[in-house]
Amino acid sequence: MYLFFFTTALSLSLAGVILSLKYLAESFYQLGFYEYISLIFSGDGTVYSYWKELFLSLIDSMPIIGMIAFLMALGVLVWSGANAFTNTRRFILQVN
């Protein structure tokens, strides 16, 4: 029964990780985070003189909700994967 529960949670959390990663990538482009990062690597000297404003703009354009959703789905994936592996191992040892 535990094995069934954790394998179901594993598959649902894998789907959640994929969907939240897609949402996170779309949010990075919609909020303009990508443009601010490209400014850092442009090599322009004026970027370094306004680094505080650029840093605050980066923080402001971060997709916090997408990051939280991704990290929660990833945590559930790791937790359910570890438990499913443990329960599979116990099931195999009981059968043998």
**What pLDDT score was predicted for residue 47?**
78
Distance CA 48, CA 68 (A): 30
Q: pLDDT value at position 75? A: 95
For residue 60, the tally of other CB atoms under 10 A from its CB is 11
Tokens describing residue 27:
């949010």
Contact in structure between 31 and 63 (CB atoms under 8 Å): yes
Give the pLDDT of residue 19.
95
pLDDT of residue 22: 95
- Domain spans in the chain, listed from the N-terminal domain onward: 2-95
- pLDDT surpasses 90 at 71: yes
Find the mean pLDDT for residues 34-61: 82
Band (pLDDT 50/70/90 cuts) for residue 1 is confident
Per-residue pLDDT reduced to its tens digit, 21-42: 999 999 988 888 888 888 878 7
Q: What is the pLDDT of residue 12?
A: 93
Maximum separation of any 2 CA atoms in the chain, in Å: 69
